[in-house]
Structure 1
Amino acid sequence: MLGALQFGVLAASIVLFVPMGMAGWHLSRNKMLFFSGALFITLAVGVHLTPYFPSISDLVSSLSASVVLENRDSCVSFLHEIVWDVQPVRVSEFSSNSSNYEESWSWAQSTPVTACGFQKLGRSDASDLLNGSWIVVAGDSQARLVVLSLLNLVLDPEEMESIRGDLFKRHSDYKALIKGIGVRLDFIWAPYTRNLTELLMEFKHNRQYPDVLVMGSGLWHMLHITDAMDYGVSLRLMRRSLVSLLPISPDFGMDGPVTGSISIRSPHMFWLGMPTLVSSMLNTEEKREKMSSVMYDAYNSELYESKLLRQSGGPLLLLDIQSLSRNCGALCTVDGMHYDGVVYEAAIHIMLNALLIESQQQL
């Protein structure tokens, strides 16, 4: 439909401006009228016959689809182009900030980032976007902080105070139904990759899948097992389960993208990356020894080699907490591992903008 409309506009423009141009070359009135009439008839017939020639229609549609897909993928790649402003402030006893600094962030003002129109969503817009959704966030304490930021965005302060204690019960799940917008939010305590695999199998067994799935692991494995190769094996096993169990498009095969399509609506899926670790600030000797920069890099290498992430042919879009926390800096953390809420707030807005892009919505 859109292609035919654009073609019609082009035809009308030719009909209008070509005769005017010819008039500029001092053609006689009769010649100009004859040419204009013949051109109009030819283009009108062409526009009406185009739908009956599938190859032409398909070509127009494919070109339009390619432009949309290219713009979508391009904007997704710029989602983490964020700049930080960290300034010293006088902190009151009532401040929720863990440091003597005030952190703020915004998307970079480069031309491609500006063209994508990323936006920080307010409570109303975020609620509209997530309305009626089932959201599952599974992982360790980093995932719990992401849930906290999401709830901070969609709930008012009074509601937040009433649930904060339940959300931060140590090593426990948390489930909430936000009645005003019909959102079901589940936090699943799943510190190891095998816990995530078990969760995926549970989805398959129940034949129920969330609309948005955020998963992440690594810190607990690094501290308690300290074996990057074993971590990589667990990621590959999870990827096999993810591809075979969830109703995701077979565009993501076992060894990379393949062709195919399905009719079942696929969940929007994200991988929550590990934060930048500030070794000198870690609060135990065991953490400083086992969670070294060398081990951290080895774990990240296994993640990228597992082909879980979309940029390596996998199904999961990375929420890059590593880059967000690194760029915010050591002033944004008090223990070298858990960062101030603004870091996870940025991750939530990256996720929401990714949802807007993937669903081709605008607010």
Structure 2
Amino acid sequence: MVGAVQFGILVACVVLFVPMGMAGWHLSRNKMLFFSGALFITLAVGVHLTPYIPSVSVFLSSISSLSSPDSQESCLSFLNDIVWEEHERGPNSSRRSWNWDRSSPVAACGFQRLGRADACDLLNGSWIVVAGDSQARLFVLSLLKLVLDSAEMEGVQRDLFKRHSDYRMVDEEHGMKLDFIWAPYESNLTDLLLGFRAARRYPDVLVMGTGMWHMLHVNNASDYGRLLRTVKTSLLSLLPNMAEFSSDWPFAGSVSSLPQPSHMFWLGMPTLVNSKLNTEEKREKMSQSMCEAYLRELDESQLLRQRGGGPLLLLDIGSLSSNCGEQCTEDGMHYDEAVYEAGIHIMLNALLIVSHQHV
């Protein structure tokens, strides 16, 4: 619809201004009137025939569809469509790089890697909370490497990786506050959400993810599913009037505002490479069948936007790590930096989509 309106305005401008310009060249009145009439008839016929000309019709519909809510939802569903390429570094080593799939539906969304300046502009004035286990900690590390320079990163990794501890950082230059909350169990996430509600303070961007600790220490998929449903209930209690939170709200960057569903993410579990796990207990309890059972429970919990219309958008570390391959992990569960870097850019592009921003 938008494309058709813009096309009509363009036609009107041509009909109006071209004859005026020609009159300025001192053409005779009759010639100008003849040309104006011919031009008007030609363009009028063209407008009416446009729907029947496939290439033009497709072009106009593609322009109008990019700004439609349906297109935004479609692009959100393509965010995790990452492909990997292998590059030789030497005779016995290689590295893998990532990019979005270049197929037509994905390419039309215009996903892009954000540089430091663009990422800082997007997150300016925001309070970001990332809660989870060691995967969430690696995710935070990748985010900090993107928004901070090398001098600022000195000491960050040491403080961030203190065992089983929280980490807080305030970037005063960009007004960005980031909290990493050590929350390896689902009950930790529930407590965190209840704490937001009690304090009546809510982050602008919320990223959560658990599962590996429960799989190792509890090893009960149905119990995991039950706890995820409790997390969902607690999350929805933060948004009692969820229907009022439209997905076309701007990305306000206001610490005092409630997060909308499009600013809340679930950090998926990585693909576990059983043969590389470093203890017998892990190899026994974190089997392929158990991993599949935990993933089914996540789907059935309806916590994810992509799988059941839930409140959290999936950052699919599982598919990212699987596609990167076994060579991207040394211990079978923690992956190379590129995997979490891809997850960061998926999140940032999701924020760009729902905030109608471009870089």
Do the structures match in fold with TM over 0.5? Answer: yes
Q: Secondary structure at the match of 2:230?
A: helix
Q: Is the 8 A contact 2:205 2:259 kept in 1?
A: no
Q: Which runs of 5+ in 2 are unaligned?
A: 17-29, 41-63, 250-256
The superposition leaves residues 13-42 of structure 1 with CA deviations (integer Å, 9 ceiling, x where unpaired) of 7977xxxxxxxxxxxx9xx99xx8xx9xxx
Distance 2:357 2:207 in 1: 20
Q: State the alpha-carbon separation in 1 of the partners of residues 125 and 345 from structure 2.
A: 19
> What's the counterpart of residue 83 of structure 1?
83
**1:163-174 equivalences in 2 (<5 Å):** 163-174=156-167
Identity across the alignment (%): 62
Q: 1:179 deviation in Å?
A: 1.3
Q: Distance in 1 between matches of 2:206 and 2:113?
A: 21
* 2:196 is equivalent to residue 207 of structure 1: no
Tell me the equivalent position of 1:159: 152
- SS of match in other structure, 2:154: helix
Question: Counterparts of 1:202-241 in structure 2 under 5 Å?
Answer: 202-241=195-234
The aligned amino acid for 1:362 is H
Deviation at 1:66, TM superposition (A): 10
Match of 1:73 in 2: 73
Pairs within 5 Å for 1:253-268: 265-267=258-260, 268=263
Q: Is the 8 A contact 1:247 1:266 kept in 2?
A: no
Partner amino acid, structure 2, of 1:89: R
The structure 1 segments of at least 4 consecutive aligned residues displaced by more than 4 Å after TM superposition are 2-8, 13-16, 64-67
Contact 1:101/1:331 (8 A) holds in 2? no
Residue 115 of structure 1: aligned partner: 108
Q: Deviations over 1:160-179 (max 9, x none)?
A: 12211100000000000011
The answer to whether the 8 A contact 1:88-1:100 is kept is yes
What's the secondary structure of 1:302's corresponding residue?
helix
The one-letter amino acid paired with 1:116 is C
Aligned with residue 186 of structure 1, among 170, 173, 179: 179
The aligned residue for residue 305 of structure 1 is: 300
The two structures have a TM-score, normalised by structure 2, of 0.79
1:114/1:233 Cα in 2 relative to 1: closer, same or farther (>3 Å)? Answer: same
The one-character-per-residue Cα deviations of 1:216-247 (angstroms, maximum 9, x if unpaired) are 01000000000000000000111111111246
Once residues 8 and 273 of structure 2 are traced to their aligned partners in structure 1, the CA distance between those partners, rounded to angstroms, is 60
Q: Which residue of 2 aligns with 1:9?
A: 9
Q: What is the identity, as a one-letter code, of the residue corresponding to 1:326?
A: S
- Tell me: CA distance 1:68–1:265, structure 2 relative to 1, closer, same or farther (3 Å): farther
Q: Which amino acid in the other structure matches residue 329 of structure 2?
A: T
What residue ranges of structure 1 are gaps of 5+ in the alignment? 17-28, 40-63, 92-98, 253-257
> What letter corresponds to residue 172 of structure 2 in structure 1?
K
Quick check: 1:352 aligned with 2:348? yes
Residue 300 to residue 178, structure 1, CA distance change in 2 (3 Å): same
> Which amino acid counterpart does residue 297 of structure 2 have in structure 1?
E
How far the C-alpha of 1:270 sits from its partner, in A, is 0.2
Cα distance, 1:121 vs. partner?
0.6
Q: Is the 8 A contact 1:216 1:272 kept in 2?
A: yes
